Structure formats: C-alpha cells, structure tokens
Amino acid sequence: MKAETGDRIAKVLARAGVASRRGAEAMVLAGRVSVNGTRIDSPALNVGPGDRITVDGKPLPAAEPARLWLYHKPAGLVTTARDEKGRETVFDALPEGMPRVVSVGRLDLNSEGLLLLTNDGALKRKLELPETGWLRKYRVRVNGTPTEESLEPLRAGMVVDGERYQPMIAGIDRQQGANAWLTIGLREGRNREIRRALGALGLSVNRLIRISYGPFQLGKLAKGAVEEIRPRVLREQLGTLAGDPPAAPPRPTGRPQGKRAKRPATPARGRPARRPPPRKD
C-alpha cells in the first residue's frame, strides 16, 4: 500500500483541512484513518491521487486551494496555537468564519503590525525561507537620540551575544522628544532580532510595527482586521502556488500579453497611402 511517490498521509490530511500535520499524525496513531479500505496505524505512509482515504469512515474532503491573508496583529497577542501561560493568542482573536490557518513567521508578544496567515503548510514554509529574499520592513520607536553614524553597525551586520545578524536597512525618520522613529528592513526573521540588535547599540525599543512583508503591505488595515489576498495577486507575486495545479493558460484574445505591442502604421482601409509631395527643383 505504500506508494513510491506521493505525499505523506499527514500532509494530505492537513492540506484537506482535517487537522494540523501533527494532529493528523495523532489521528493516524489512534486508528481513525483508512487508506483503500485498510485502517493504518503509522503516519510513515505515502499516498497518491488514486488512493481512497477515509477519516472516521467518511471520505476525505478535497484539498483546499492555498490561500493567504493579511492580518493586523495588535500588541499583547502571542503568535502560537496554544500558550502555556494561558495568554490570548492570535488565533483566538481572529474574526469568526476564518478557516484553520497558520502564521508565516511570528511577531512577538509586544510587536504589532502585518502578519501573514495561510491555510497551506507548504506555502508557509516557502514564504519563510531566507532564499525567498523578501524584505520585511518595520517602523520602530526607540528611547534615545540615534544618529545615522550610530546605526552603521546595523547596515554592516553585527554580532550580538555570539549570534551574527545579516546587514539591515536602517534609517532615522524623526526625533520625537526622548524617542526616535526608525525604519528597519531585514531579510531574515530571527527571534527578537531588531530588539536585540538595537539594544546592543544602547537603544531600547518601546514600539515595533511590521509594515510590510515582501510585496504585501499593512497599509490602512485596521487593528485586528483580516484581508484575503486575491488568487490572481498571489499568482503574480509567487508564481504557481505551492501545492496548486498550474493555472490554465489564458484564452487567446488576439492581443499580446502584458504591454500592448505597437502596431505598425498602416493606411486606412479603402484609402491609398499618402505619398510625399513631389520635390520642386
């Protein structure tokens, strides 16, 4: 029954929205999943499109297409499915009607701003990869009076407590009393990276807002609000989505795609082409 190709059973169950991958593995171990009429007891099984999968005797629903949402995370929420200290999580605060989603990266308890959410684990991992190279921008308020020169270690890359941070984009927006507003951009997302790096420069962060993640912008999205990215925009930004079949080719329209090609000048129908006047000697 084990297929040479295909995907692990837990991944298939997760893609269908039954449970998280870890939850799906628990369901398999509990004997709730059958493949081709045989109950399985190990998640170490690959299945393909031709396999019949049931959960608790019911056919597995079709896999949901990959989707992506923008979420304006307020400060005071933890970005985890469950919190051992009982604090409210991002997923507790999502509007009603949202499907099961996971976050792309994290924002810590006191950080706010743009958090990407997806229903697709493969898309999540794709967007989190450093190789994606997407710039993440933050507006950061610090206590202190930084100068452009004092921020140079951020731009050059620095080591904090034995951990090397890659070069960041750093600029001063304005000084506001005892605080200054900065714009920071980075292409990796280590835990508390901005806070630790600025702290090493003697600047204490008292507010941190993510304003963009690659091409996706926080804009005027209200705190606590969610906005889904349209599939066409996703295709434009990501190419073929992880796990999605390739989009059907567009129907021919007689026009080239993208910018309209300039047509060569032709005379109007039924009229002879205008000739230049004869030269007068």
**Among all residues, which ones are annotated catalytic?**
108
Round to whole Å and give the CA distance between 146 and 135. Answer: 23
Query: Taking a C-beta distance cutoff of 8 angstroms, is the pair 43, 9 a contact?
Result: yes
| Residue matched to tokens 């999605």 | 244
Round to whole Å and give the CA distance between 12 and 125. Answer: 16
Which whole-number Å values give the CA distances from 196 to 109, 124, 164, 174, in the listed order?
15, 25, 11, 21
Amino acid letter, 248: A
Pairing label, strands 68-73, 216-217: unpaired
Which one, of 6, 214, 15, lies nearest residue 119 by Cα?
A: 15
| Sign of the alpha-carbon dihedral angle for 269, 271, 273, 274 | negative
Query: Taking a C-beta distance cutoff of 8 angstroms, is the pair 134, 127 a contact?
Result: yes
* Number of residues assigned to the chain: 281
Query: Taking a C-beta distance cutoff of 8 angstroms, is the pair 50, 85 a contact?
Result: no
Enter the tokens of residue 42: 């190990």
Amino acid letter, 176: Q
Q: Give me the residues paired with residue 116 across strands.
A: 70, 104
Query: Taking a C-beta distance cutoff of 8 angstroms, is the pair 257, 249 a contact?
Result: no
